[in-house]
Chain A
Amino acid sequence: MKTMTIGSRHELKEYAARVRADMASLNKRVLVCTGPGCLANGAEKILDAFRSHSVEAVGATRTGCHGFCEVGPLVRIEPDDVVYVHVKPEDVAEIVEQTLRKGNIIGRLVYRDPDTGRAYQKERDIPFYASQTKVALANCGAINPDDIGEYIARDGYQALARAVLDLSPDETIEEMLESGLRGRGGGGFPTGRKWMFARQAKGDQKYVVCNADEGDPGAFMDRCIMEGDPHSVLEGLAIAASAIGADRGYIYVRAEYPLAVARMRNAVKQARECGLLGANILGSEFSFDVIIKEGAGAFVCGEETALLASIEGKRGMPRPRPPFPANEGLFGKPTIINNVETLATVPAIIRRGPAWFRGIGTESSPGTKTFAVTGQVSNTGLIEIPMGATLRDVVFKIGGGVLGGKKFKAAQIGGPSGGCLPEQLLDTPLDYDSLKKAGAMVGSGGLVILDEKTCMVEVARFFMHFTQRESCGKCVPCREGTKRMLDIMEKIVAGRATLEDLDALEQIAWVVKESSLCALGKTAPNPVLTTLKYFRDEYLAHIVDKKCPAGVCSAFKAYVIHSELCKGCGKCRRVCPAGAITGEPKHPPVIDTSKCVKCGACVEACAFGAISLG
């Protein structure tokens, strides 16, 4: 759609009405999910297939993530709200003929609950969606992210109009304070207070920065928001800028998200063309423009002062606070840094009012939060729920329980900074304070479900490995402490640790937690500390009994020769560097487990597949 200049609130409303009328002239709209999961499963080919059929008064468009990644590629048809799952390009002709032309539902493509077998035609009835409340993800999956018109048609930029035309900066901040919105990037600091500090700070030049360096493994909500609804982030950033008196913003996007970068760049370009970025926005005094910066692959750049150093072209290392960025930030000027999801929530608050927002969630954690539900769970996907819903609701009601009917063991929440919550904490409300009390944190909202076959010690080692590698090396506790912790974790999973090592691990963990410079170090021990707290018996099993209860750690496995497959060729005996295999020719040999170094040379040498790790 051709864009036009929007120079006033009246023109914004007129434009919205025009796009709505255009959209209403269509009988049906086909919304093809091109979220990360569906894209990897061939969603673009499905979209091409729809576009190759021309049906009168039907539009086919790509959208951002619909959320239910498990059953993708997903196709939704509006206004009927019909959802088709596991769609293949070959299905498109039938969908066009049956559903688009004749209005019939294709039974084999609708979602069926794997437990009850019940079929669901409409998205809103599917249990995965039924208990969600979408605020930050409201447009994700509903609009074409490359078309500013569709965003405007859904009340887009109305909040910015209110902020720059009706409210004074102080009133905007007042509404943010009242809403109680807390930073969705992990810290949970009240957004309104951050803005207030930056507004009060003296400076001729101020900046707003969007932290889109989503580095937590297992979290992809920011990616989906930028890819599915980039204008909501831009609008939130512009409102923040108008509130603190900034005329320039930066969006720092993680390098691993090329599509998010492309969508954000396109959104900025369209907003400039419309005059929604630039001088005197909507006829007001407010001028604002945005620069997109690509990260270069450093987890620590999610920390705000490290992120600012990276924008300045330096090594992305954090610095001590105070001074806080609100007083001395980017290029030494007052700066606020807000996360993607936080900013995407801002327009809804300004448009619908703080009271509405407070009506969702809990007293101390109002509103909704997105979670990326992954791991050993039946329904992987991206969800948004009111704060305070329980972990049990998420795992069993929305997530459909543990994959393959296995037993739930733990939920890893908040990525490398978070913790592992065991079964007895399933009724923990998912809000900032409850999770902190449990030793975990909301973090960015990655929620990885672990089943009974997962070794918790190995999971903790995995996170230590991650944070150790990503430690920037500036402060000693984090640089040296995470290294020592990783050494001990590796000893434990290798079966070489003693109980003294366990004491040392715990002691170092507390030192790192309490004395590191930035949040990376302060939270790095959380996975170890929570697993020590809730799964200590697994640590002891590795150290004392020399066993891995989940059967994961290879150090505790022994090589076994299966006599029924063995031809007695003796090749394994000859390649064994430790001389651990003995026996007579033509007879299955024997492995002396005390000598075996588990190098695997015998497995590779065996032509009959007769040796395996058991």
Chain B
Amino acid sequence: MTPVELAQRKFERVNEIIEEHGREQSALIPILQEVQAEYRYLPEEILTYIATAMGLSAATVFGVATFYAQFSLEPKGKYVVRVCDGTACHVRHSMLVYQAIRSKLELKDGKFTTPDMMFTVETVACLGACGVAPAMVVNGEVYGKMTPEAACTIIDMLLYRDGDN
């Protein structure tokens, strides 16, 4: 495949998403959400492409993409582990859970994704699962009443499951 063909393939899906939502600016956030679901992050060249396709300035699109916490301009891991640090979880020691996962995955300061792209570890303001605080969510699945040990067991389980495949 020529480089041109490769590039066309890459943008084909983006085109479909834009077609589906239309080119009004009010469609920008849904479009970015869907593109991110497809690529697991927002690659820079796709943002520029979206801007051109929607007739918006690149600054507008980058401005929106960097404003909202949901959007990531960096690739994320296969498993996104989000430890809730809402008030209820915080006072039930969610940070110990977060630190335990980070140290288990050997994530150093300023790094949130493991070098093998398996895990991204983040905090989230509140999952609304305060009744089972502290909570964490891995790719949409919620785990309640976490302890540092339980969280590490879950990481082990995911690693094991992945090793099986």
Q: Which residue of B lies closest to A462 (CB)?
A: B90
Within 8 A of B (CB), among A447-464: 448, 450, 454, 459, 462-463
A315 touches B64 (CB 8 A): yes
Contact B92 A375 (CB under 8 A): yes
- Interface membership of A169, Cβ < 8 A: no
Q: Are A220 and B130 in contact (CB under 8 A)?
A: yes
A447 to B32, CA, bound (A): 35
Subset of 22 A-B contacts with CB under 8 Å? A36-B129, A36-B142, A37-B131, A69-B131, A70-B131, A217-B125, A218-B130, A220-B126, A255-B33, A256-B124, A256-B125, A256-B126, A295-B68, A295-B70, A311-B26, A374-B87, A374-B133, A375-B87, A415-B87, A448-B88, A466-B125, A470-B125
- Which B residues are within 8 Å of any A CB, using their own CB? 24-30, 32-33, 60, 63-64, 67-71, 85-92, 124-133, 135, 140, 142-144
A381 near B: Cβ within 8 Å? yes
Q: Is the CB of A299 within 8 A of B129?
A: no
Complex Cα distance, B63 from A39, in Å, reads 36
* Bound CA–CA A2/B133 (angstroms): 39
Tell me which of B27, B32, B86, B126 has the highest count of chain A C-beta atoms within 10 A of its own C-beta.
B126
10 new A-B pairs (CB below 8 Å) besides A295-B70, A296-B33, A374-B133?
A36-B131, A217-B88, A217-B126, A293-B29, A313-B29, A374-B87, A376-B91, A381-B131, A446-B88, A448-B87
Q: Does A214 have its Cβ within 8 Å of any Cβ on chain B?
A: yes
A36/B26 contact (C-beta < 8 A), A314-B64, A315-B64, A448-B88 known: no
B91, A459: Cβ atoms under 8 Å?
Answer: yes
Whether B63 and A375, one on each chain, are in contact in the complex, defined by CB atoms closer than 8 angstroms, is: no
Question: Are B64 and A312 within 8 A (Cβ)?
Answer: no
Smallest distance from the beta carbon of A202 to chain B beta carbons, Å? 23
Kindly list chain B residues whose C-beta atoms are within 8 Å of the C-beta of A41.
Answer: 132, 144
By the criterion CB–CB under 8 Å, are A296 and B71 in contact?
Answer: yes
Q: Which residue of B lies closest to A412 (CB)?
A: B87
Which residues from chain B contact A295 at a C-beta distance below 8 Å?
68, 70
Cβ-neighbour of B126 out of A218, A313, A316, A376 (below 8 A): A218
Q: Which of A36, A216, A217 has the most CB of B within 10 A?
A: A217
- A337-388 interface (Cβ within 8 A of B): 372, 374-376, 380-382
Q: Is the CB of A296 within 8 A of B29?
A: yes
Least distance between B22 CB and chain A CB atoms (Å): 11
Which residues of the other chain, B, contact A380 by a CB distance below 8 angstroms? Answer: 88, 130-131, 133
A289 interface residue, CB < 8 Å from B?
Answer: no
Which A-B residue pairs are the 8 nearest by beta carbons? A69-B131, A217-B86, A37-B131, A297-B69, A296-B68, A374-B88, A220-B128, A217-B126
State A454–B91 Cα separation when bound (angstroms).
Answer: 7
Cα-based distance from A472 to B26 in the complex (angstroms): 20
Task: Select which of B69, B124, B140 is within 8 A of A296 by beta carbon.
Answer: B69
* A447–B91 alpha-carbon span in the complex (Å): 12
Closest to A470 in B: B125
CA distance A12 to B124 in the complex (A): 43
Q: Which residues of A contact B130 (CB under 8 A)?
A: 36, 69, 218-220, 372, 374, 380, 446
Set A297, A310, A315, A459: member contacting B63, Cβ < 8 A: A315
CB of A375 within 8 A of CB of B88, answer yes
A399 at interface, CB cutoff 8 A = no
Residues of chain A within 8 A (CB-CB) of B128 are 36, 214, 219-220, 223-224, 256-257
Which of A224, A299, A315 has most chain B Cβ within 10 Å?
Answer: A315
Cα A108 to Cα B124 in complex, Å, equals: 37
Closest to B24 in A: A313
Expressed in whole angstroms, the Cα–Cα distance for A472 and B67 within the complex equals 8
B24 touches A220 (CB 8 A): no
Find chain A residues with CB under 8 A from B70 CB.
255, 295-297
CB distance from B165 to the nearest CB of A (A): 23
**Contact for B135 among A40, A299, A372, A454, CB less than 8 A:** A40
- Name the CB-closest residue of A to B103: A604
Interchain CB contact (< 8 A) of A313 among B28, B90, B142 = B28
- In whole angstroms, how far apart are the Cα atoms of A118 and B135 in the complex? 30
Would B24 and A40 count as touching, CB distance under 8 A?
A: no
User: Contact at A315–B67, with CB atoms within 8 Å?
Assistant: yes
Are A374 and B63 in touch, CB under 8 angstroms? no
The contact of B25 among A35, A219, A257, A313, by CB within 8 Å, is A313
Q: How many angstroms from the CA of A69 to the CA of B142 in the assembled complex?
A: 15
Which one, B25, B30, B131, B143, contacts A374 given CB within 8 A?
B131
Q: Which listed residue, B25, B92, B125, B127, touches A299 by the CB 8 Å rule?
A: B125
Give the residues in chain B near A466, CB-CB below 8 Å: 125
Q: Knowing A298-B67, A298-B69, A415-B87 touch, does A220 contact B129 (C-beta < 8 A)?
A: yes
Residue of A nearest to B27 (CB): A313
What chain B residues lie within 8 Å of A257 (beta carbons)?
128
A472: B residues at CB distance < 8 A: 67
Cross-chain contact B90 with A312 (CB below 8 angstroms): no
Residue of A nearest to B60 (CB): A314
Which residues of the other chain, A, contact B69 by a CB distance below 8 angstroms?
A: 296-298
Residues from 233 to 290 in A contacting B, C-beta threshold 8 Å: 255-258
Chain A residues within an 8 Å CB radius of B27: 313
Q: Is the CB of A462 within 8 A of B87?
A: yes
Residue of B nearest to A403 (CB): B92
In the assembled complex, the CB of B125 is this many whole angstroms from the nearest CB of chain A, namely 5
A532 to chain B, nearest CB (A): 19
On whether A314 and B127 interact (CB within 8 A), knowing A40-B135, A459-B91, the answer reads no
Q: How far is the CB of B41 from chain A (nearest CB, A)?
A: 14
Q: Within A187-218, which residues are at the interface with B (CB < 8 Å)?
A: 214-218
Kindly list chain B residues whose C-beta atoms are within 8 Å of the C-beta of A255.
33, 70
Residue from B64, B71, B87, B92 whose CB has the most chain A CB atoms within 10 Å:
B87
Q: Looking across the interface, which residue of chain A has its beta carbon closest to that of B61?
A: A313
Is B68 a contact of A298 with CB atoms below 8 Å? yes
Shortest CB–CB separation between residue A402 and chain B, in angstroms? 12
Any chain B CB within 8 A of the CB of A294? yes
Q: Are B30 and A294 in contact, CB atoms less than 8 angstroms apart?
A: yes
Q: Does A145 contact B (CB under 8 A)?
A: no
